[in-house]
Amino acid sequence: VSVLLFVAAPYIRRYVAGERCKSTARLEGKVVIVTGANTGIGKETARELAQRGKVIIACRDIAKADAAASEIRTETGNQQVIVKKLDLADTKSIREFAEKFLAEEKELHILINNAGVMLCPYSRTADGFEMHLGVNHLGHFLLTFLLLERLKQCAPARIVNVSSLAHHGGRIRFHDLQGEKCYNRGLAYCHSKLANVLFTRELARRLQGKTSTANALHPGSVSSELVRHSFIMTWLWKIFSFFLKTPCEGAQTSIYCAVAEELDSVTGQYFSDCQPAYVSPRGRDDETAKKLWSVSCELLGIQWD
C-alpha cells in the first residue's frame, strides 16, 4: 500500500492542484485592488498580478499587509505594490478607504473581492451585521458600489468575487438574515457565499451593455488561515494538507477571472479550476438576487439603481 501511495502521490497532487491560469496578459498602466491580500489566496493573487501591473493591497491588518507587500516588491521588482487600510467589518472604514483611493488613484481596472471570514462564533460587525454576512457580502457590496463609477470610467473593467462551492449549502433567509433566531457558523458561511453568487449575478445583469464585467469563483479547498476559528477544521486541514490546494494553486482561478483574454466579454458566470462551473439552483434565482440587492441597499443606507 505504501509503495502504491508513493507511486500515486505525484498524480494525486497534480489532480488536487487543479488548473493553472495560462494567460500571460500584461497589466501595464492598469490598477488592481485585491482585498485581504496579506495572506493566503489573496496574497498569492497579489503576488502574481504584481508581475503584470500595479496592485493595491487592501487589508485590515496593516502590519501584515506591509510585510506581504514588501515581500512581493522584493520578489517581483515591482515597487507599485501599495498598502491601504480596509476593514470590511466597518462601513466607516470602507467609506474612508474608497474616499482616499478615489482621491489618490485616477485609475481602477480590476477589483478582486477576495477577503472573507469563515466559521466565526456568533459576532457582529461595527454596524451590527452578523459577521459572515457583514464581511463576506455587505462589506464587498458597499466597496463595489463606492468604486463602480471609477471602474466604469476605466473600462474595460472587471469585478471578481471570490465565492465558494459552499454556496450549494446556502440559503438567503430573509426572515433571519442576521442569524438572531437560529445560528450555525458553518451554515452562516454557506449563506454568505451564496450571497456572493447572487450579488455577482444581479450586478452582471445591471452592467449588461457596459464594458465592465462581474464574475464569481470557487478557489478550491485551500490550505489557508481561513479555518482559524475552528480547532477541528484547523486540525483536519493539517492532517489532510496533502489533499488541499496550496494558496498559490487556490489563487489561479481568481487570476484567470482577472486577466484571461477569453473572458473580456464574459459576465455573470461562476468558475472553478479556470473553467465554468455548476451553480446551485438557489444561486440562479433571479428574484432572490433582486431582493437581496434591495435588502442590502436598505441595510447599508445606499441607493444603487
Which of 183, 189, 256, 278 does the annotation list as catalytic?
Answer: 189
> DSSP letters of the chain?
-HHHHHHHHHHHHHHHH---------EEEEEEEEETTTSHHHHHHHHHHTTTEEEEEEES-HHHHHHHHHHHHHHH----EEEEE--TT-HHHHHHHHHHHHHH-S---EEEE-----SPPS-B-TTS-BHHIIIIIIIHHHHHHHHHHHHHHT-SEEEEEE--GGGGG----GGGTT-SS---HHHHHHHHHHHHHHHHHHHHHHTTTSSEEEEEEE--SB-SGGGTT-HHHHHHHHHTGGGSB-HHHHTHHHHHHHH-GGGTT--S-EEETTEE----GGGG-HHHHHHHHHHHHHHHT----
Strands 110-113 and 81-85: unpaired
Catalytic annotation on 256? no
Residues 6 or more apart whose Cβ sits within 8 Å of residue 283: 167, 168, 194, 197, 198, 201, 270
CB-based contact 120:96 (threshold 8 Å):
no
Instruction: Tell me the catalytic residues.
Output: 189
